[in-house]
Amino acid sequence: GENVEQHPSTLSVQEGDSAVIKCTYSDSASNYFPWYKQELGKRPQLIIDIRSNVGEKKDQRIAVTLNKTAKHFSLHITETQPEDSAVYFCAASYPGNTPLVFGKGTRLSVIA
């Protein structure tokens, strides 16, 4: 089955700097790669996703890139703000409405 590795486990950045979180997946059959943000005590919220037919997707300050050959994808947050502080999870799934396999998460702290 699919396995998703996520790095780093913790990340601290100064407000205004960029943050990058990286994930690798094991199964080339996976074709959907979402990112979730989970604030303390809250449910995971889908913030951006990318499908295997696309190399990059951007939504305001966040962007995701996908390298199918290397089987890795990354989340980029620019101009970080204190409210970006949370745990971020990457995930992968197979075609169809299949369940997600999650990475272990990255705790991002944005220091004002």
Partner 1 sequence: SAVISQKPSRDICQRGTSLTIQCQVDSQVTMMFWYRQQPGQSLTLIATANQGSEATYESGFVIDKFPISRPNLTFSTLTVSNMSPEDSSIYLCSVVPRANEQFFGPGTRLTVL
Query: Distance between CA atoms of 96 and 32, rounded to whole angstroms?
Result: 9
Q: Does 32 bind partner 1 (CB under 8 A)?
A: yes
Q: Which of 19, 75, 100, 110 binds partner 1 (CB under 8 A)?
A: 100
Looking at the Cβ atoms of 32 and 78, the one nearer to partner 1 is 32
Looking at the Cβ atoms of 34 and 85, the one nearer to partner 1 is 34
Structure tokens at 81: 């703000």
Query: Distance between CA atoms of 65 and 52, rounded to whole angstroms?
Result: 10
Count of H helices and E strands in the chain? 0, 11
Region binding partner 1 by CB under 8 A among candidate stretches 13-21, 54-62, 69-77, 96-104: 96-104
Q: Is 105 left (phi over 0), alpha (psi -120 to 50) or beta?
A: left
Site string for partner 1, 45-84 (x = CB under 8 A): xx--x-x---------------------------------
